[in-house]
Amino acid sequence: MPETDGDDLSDLPPSAKLVFKVLEYDGPLTQKGIVEESMLSARTVRYALERLEDVGVVEEDVYFADARQNLYEIDLTDCDGDCEAAASAD
Distance CA 34, CA 52 (A): 13
The packing angle between helices 14-26 and 42-55, to 10°, is 80
Pick the CATH number of 9-89 from 1.10.10.10, 1.20.58.100, 3.90.550.10, 3.40.640.10: 1.10.10.10
Distance CA 86, CA 24 (A): 13
pLDDT in tens, 11-64: 999 999 999 999 999 989 999 999 999 999 999 999 999 999 999 999 999 989
Give domain limits for the chain. 9-89
Instruction: Provide Rg for the chain, Cα atoms.
Output: 12
H helix runs in the chain, sequence order: 14-26, 31-38, 42-55, 83-89
DSSP classification of residue 3: T
pTM, full prediction: 0.78
